[in-house]
């Protein structure tokens, strides 16, 4: 038609075969760039007779436009093909089974702690928050254990400085609660939490363990009420059949003092390594709040009496679930922890 058909056809063939943008850029330069055949042809226009100049120029432009439009449509095809292949590769197969996430389980320590909180709340107790880093004053002095008192050795402690320590028992919360009440009863609180002692770890002792403190102060509180409360708690945790014994004991902050043991699950009371041959495992200390403690913490001992108890959380869990070594609570062994799946 105009002498450029052959160039157009050649260009079209090459453009059809281009598979990426770089190749298209190259072809664009080759067919319509400054060095292209069409550009060279344009340079010759000056030498043509006047009447042919217009048609020649028009035909060069038509050829240029055709090649540019081939390039544009091939460009579109290439980018569509890229998008299509991306979609195909990134397609989500919703029929594939989902990735399984292992569900955790409640730590036996938490199970018992929560159970105690629920049980005592149902009896009208409130929950007191204590401090794990405590002043010697609250851990010992306000509990009738002055400096150099031999009873301090009962609970060898981790001191941070001369007056600060990691609390060795939850009884440290008692003074906070009593001083806050400013001598006005009644008080009925529990405080579950961690305590720390320089004990040598063995099957039933850990340097870090949990206690749940209980403190009740009122005008008609007696030892019978304490024993009834502890019996209810023990039955709640272990059921009615477990053998339990109360025995006299000594704590400087209670008078009289008692300790409570539960029969060893491992040997059924015959005596074994776990219960150190006694047939019993001690779970708690308790007693009537000592008049000195009431007085030092702002309560009139002629008007008020109180009882208090401190129960070992791991010991309860060990006896309830038959755990033969307290160190299992702290070893982070997932297969041990998984056994408590489904427990409340």
Residues of the shown chain interacting with ligand FA5 in the complex, contacts defined by CB under 6 A: 155, 169, 171, 197, 199, 205-206, 209, 211, 251, 254, 257, 282-287, 308-310, 312, 314-315, 326
Rounded to a whole number, what is the distance in angstroms from the first to the last CA of the chain? 91
Q: What's the min distance (Å) between Cβ of 162 and ligand FA5? A: 22
**Alpha carbons 92 and 90: distance in angstroms, whole number:** 6
304 touches 218 (CB < 8 A): yes
Beta sheet of 187-196, edge-to-edge order: 126-127, 187-196, 208-218, 305-312, 280-289, 254-263, 244-251
In terms of CB distance, is 18 or 313 closer to ligand FA5?
A: 313
H runs (alpha helix) in 90-154: 108-122, 136-139
Choose between 14 and 259: whose C-beta lies nearer to ligand FA5: 259
The residue with tokens 């007056």 is: 163
Task: Please compute Rg for the chain using Cα positions.
Answer: 43
Query: Are residues 266 and 275 in contact, defined by beta-carbon separation less than 8 angstroms?
Result: yes
What is the four-CA torsion angle of 168, 170, 173, 178, rounded to 10 degrees?
Answer: -120
Q: Is the CB of 45 or the CB of 133 nearer to ligand FA5?
A: 133
Q: How many helices (DSSP H) and strands (DSSP E) are in the chain?
A: 11, 10
Give least dist CB 300 to ligand FA5, A: 20
Instruction: Please report how close the Cβ of residue 302 comes to ligand FA5 at its closest, in angstroms.
Output: 21
Torsion sign over Cα 215, 218, 222, 228:
negative
Shortest Å distance, C-beta 168 to ligand FA5: 7
Smaller CB separation from ligand FA5, 14 or 314:
314
Indicate the residue among 31 and 265 with the shorter CB distance to ligand FA5.
265
Q: Which is nearer to ligand FA5, 74 or 197 (CB)?
A: 197
At closest approach, how far in Å is the CB of 316 from ligand FA5?
8
| CA gap 47, 68 in Å, rounded | 27
CB of 324 to ligand FA5, least distance (A): 14
Residue number, nearest CB to ligand FA5: 312
Q: Give, as one character, the DSSP assignment of residue 103.
A: P
- Rounded to an integer, what distance in angstroms lies between the CA atom of residue 11 and that of residue 5? 10
| Angle, CA of 103, 104 and 108, to the nearest 5° | 150
Q: Say if residues 286 and 260 touch (Cβ distance below 8 Å).
A: yes
283-318 burial: b if 16+ Cβ within 10 Å, else e: bbbbbbbbbebbebbebeeeebbbbbbbbbbbbbbb
Q: How far is the CB of 111 from ligand FA5 (least distance, A)?
A: 16
Of 185 and 210, CB closest to ligand FA5: 210
Q: In angstroms, what is the minimal distance from the CB of 153 to ligand FA5?
A: 12
Closest to ligand FA5 by CB, 114 or 156: 156
4/125 with CB nearer ligand FA5: 125
Residue 210, helix vs strand vs coil: strand
């Amino acid at each position: 038609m105009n002498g450029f058909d052959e160039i157009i056809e050649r260009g079209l063939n090459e453009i059809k075969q281009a598979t990426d943008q770089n190749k298209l850029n190259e072809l664009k330069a080759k067919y319509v760039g400054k060095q292209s055949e069409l550009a060279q042809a344009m340079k010759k226009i000056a030498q043509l007779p006047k009447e042919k100049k217009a048609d020649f120029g028009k035909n060069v432009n038509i050829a240029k436009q055709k090649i540019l439009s081939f390039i544009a449509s091939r460009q579109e095809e290439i980018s569509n093909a890229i998008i299509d292949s991306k979609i195909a590769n990134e397609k989500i197969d919703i029929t594939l089974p989902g990735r399984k996430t292992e569900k955790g389980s409640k730590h036996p320590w938490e199970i018992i702690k929560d159970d105690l909180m629920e049980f005592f709340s149902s009896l009208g107790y409130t929950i007191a928050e204590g401090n794990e880093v405590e002043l010697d004053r609250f851990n010992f002095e306000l509990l009738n254990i002055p400096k150099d008192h031999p009873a301090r050795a009962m609970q060898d402690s981790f001191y941070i400085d001369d007056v600060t320590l990691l609390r060795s028992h939850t009884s440290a919360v008692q003074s906070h609660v009593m001083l806050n009440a400013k001598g006005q009863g009644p008080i009925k609180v529990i405080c579950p939490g961690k305590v720390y002692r320089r004990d040598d770890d063995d099957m039933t002792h850990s340097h870090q363990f949990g206690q749940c403190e209980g403190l009740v102060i009122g005008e008609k509180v007696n030892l019978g009420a304490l024993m009834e409360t502890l019996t209810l708690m023990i039955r709640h945790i272990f059921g009615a059949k477990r053998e339990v014994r109360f025995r006299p004991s000594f704590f400087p902050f209670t008078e009289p003092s008692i300790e409570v043991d539960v029969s060893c699950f491992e040997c059924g009371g015959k005596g074994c390594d776990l219960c150190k041959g006694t047939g019993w495992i001690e779970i708690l200390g308790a007693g009537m709040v000592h008049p000195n403690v009431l007085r030092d913490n702002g309560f009139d001992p002629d008007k008020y009496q109180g009882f208090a108890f401190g129960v070992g959380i791991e010991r309860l869990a060990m006896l309830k679930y038959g755990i033969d070594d307290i160190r299992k609570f702290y070893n982070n062994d997932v297969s041990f922890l998984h056994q408590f799946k489904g427990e409340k």
